[in-house]
Structure 1
Amino acid sequence: MLYIITIGILLLILFVSFKSKKKTATIPLTNLVIPTYWHHLLLKNVLFYKKLTIKEQQLFCSKMLHFLKRTNIRAIHFKLEELDTLLIAASAVIPVFRFSNWHYSNLTTVLIYPDYFDDDLQFDAKVEGRTIGGLVGTGRFENQMILSKKALYHGFSNKTDKGNTAIHEFIHLLDKADGVIDGIPAVLLDKQYIIPYLQLVHKKMEAINNDASDIRSYGGTSEIEFLAVAGEYFFERPKLFKRKHPELYKMLEACFIK
């Protein structure tokens, strides 16, 4: 039975992927007008947005609109709500907000599941081992991202946990912008800083693995995950991150604050 469910999900994803090549809009958008009610939804749900100036908030919404015009967002086995779409767009904009001109050329479709899923992309409550909240697709899922709705909302509702799954996955896409996900932000960091960055990363990973760091333990598994985990912390709790990890903060600031 689980095998049949898995095949069904994979076929659905392939169908969505095929359709995504023909459609570029995710929600009806006319004349690039930003709905006024976005402001209130974002103030309520996105702390990063709330901390921006009014002018910056307008720019943030414009960047969200640009992302939504380019990217398909599809709900799997549930009805997509507009807040789902807005939180995904906000997650995409946050890591690149300070970039003057950026779009995710390596992303066409975001699939959002109702719950956490396992390695076989199964999200049924009866399936054990459903711990994955997001991933960036490869192979036949190239240019796609899969997110759990529960993980998406948890990332924005918990203001103290230093984590945000959707931001994590979009940082992986930034990492992949040079063609490979390797934990080296080559498109973000000038070449002369890459070796010092890696030296610092290895030092920080050692501290994580020795249980001597407040950076989430998943960041100690590889350079790839360290960049994404540290990036979550950088955007979710910037003041605390700067106080706890001033040298790393400066490095990530050089990456994300253009």
Structure 2
Amino acid sequence: MKLIYKSLSYLFKSSTKEECHKILINSNFYYEGLSQNKKETFLVRTLIFRFRTNFDSKPDFILTQKMKTIISSAFAQITFGLNMHTLSKFNHVFVTPSSYAYKHNNVLLDGDVNLRTKRVNMSWPTVKKGFEINDDALNLAIHEFGHCLIFENTARSYLSRIFKESAFEKWKKHAHLKYLKIKNKENVVLRDYAGSNLIELFSVSLETFFEKPHHFYDNEPELFLSMVILLNQDPRNKPNPLELK
């Protein structure tokens, strides 16, 4: 455990960390597979996000600490190899009790990132299902936070980008080739929704990267490895995904 996380760990009460551990060990498959040392780091990163993010819901829907922790763990998971712990522009997460629609629009949504309000919206039943079924490459929280990473990376100045420019350009090169495969009905790994645009392809790739990493690598090794470099982690290495092959 790095010294910075040992120091940050003291900011949280033992009871808070124990509560967080119990939630994560029963709900986050990625956390369950980590070594003890990496679990401690992951737990601290989850709590940092939980405490520094503005979680909200409708008055008649009770948003529990467990819900906040599970959602926060999705962000800790995708950024585990990156030097970031929170979102700066999209730090308002609004959780709904069911699918929702915007005013004057009949399309039901389970999640979206609103670029105007800078709010991340998520339907709790879909978030919950995403963690309960951990091998179907469907995880709403990971998907929506993937969008946030792309949007924030684009909005930042060159020197403060989330992703290394060379790594991001390499990913885009392989992502474009995959996009063409999807359009040509030659898709094997990612669900067809990834063919909407490269932003959706990134989020769909993230879901598959974490929930079906071996299947992803076996069928699209170049795209998979470009994501390993981009995110600085390899989920095939369960005890320590930061140990790159």
Partner of 2:206: 231
Matched residues in 1 for 2:48 and 2:171: separation? Answer: 31
After superposition, the Cα gap between the structure-2 partners of 1:94 and 1:203, relative to the gap in structure 1 and judged at 3 Å, is same
Aligned pairs (5 A) from 1:89-128: 89-120=72-103
Q: Does 1:135 align with 2:109?
A: no
Q: Does 1:204 align with 2:178?
A: yes
Q: Does 1:32 align with 2:15?
A: no
Matched residues in 2 for 1:196 and 1:178: separation? Answer: 15
Partner of 1:66: 48
Matched residues in 1 for 2:104 and 2:52: separation? Answer: 25
One-letter amino acid of the structure 2 residue matched with residue 256 of structure 1: L
Q: Does 1:173 align with 2:155?
A: no
Q: CA deviation at 1:199?
A: 3.0
* Counterpart contact for 1:171–1:228, Cα < 8 Å: yes
Q: CA deviation at 1:51?
A: 1.1
TM-score, structure 2 normalization: 0.80
* Counterpart contact for 1:92–1:167, Cα < 8 Å: yes
1:74 alignment partner, SS class: strand
Give 5+ residue unaligned stretches, structure 1. 1-29, 123-127
* Number of residue equivalences: 216
1:250 alignment partner, SS class: helix
Matched residues in 1 for 2:85 and 2:211: separation? Answer: 21
After superposition, the Cα gap between the structure-2 partners of 1:100 and 1:197, relative to the gap in structure 1 and judged at 3 Å, is closer
Give 5+ residue unaligned stretches, structure 2. 1-9, 234-245
After superposition, the Cα gap between the structure-2 partners of 1:207 and 1:119, relative to the gap in structure 1 and judged at 3 Å, is farther
After superposition, the Cα gap between the structure-2 partners of 1:197 and 1:256, relative to the gap in structure 1 and judged at 3 Å, is closer
One-letter amino acid of the structure 2 residue matched with residue 134 of structure 1: G
Matched residues in 2 for 1:69 and 1:119: separation? Answer: 28
Partner of 1:8: none
Cα deviation code 1:24-61 (max 9, x no counterpart): xxxxxx94224313222211111010111111111111
- Percent sequence identity over matched residues? 23
One-letter amino acid of the structure 2 residue matched with residue 138 of structure 1: L
User: Larger relative contact order (C-alpha < 8 A, sep ≥ 6)?
Assistant: 2
Matched residues in 2 for 1:148 and 1:51: separation? Answer: 26
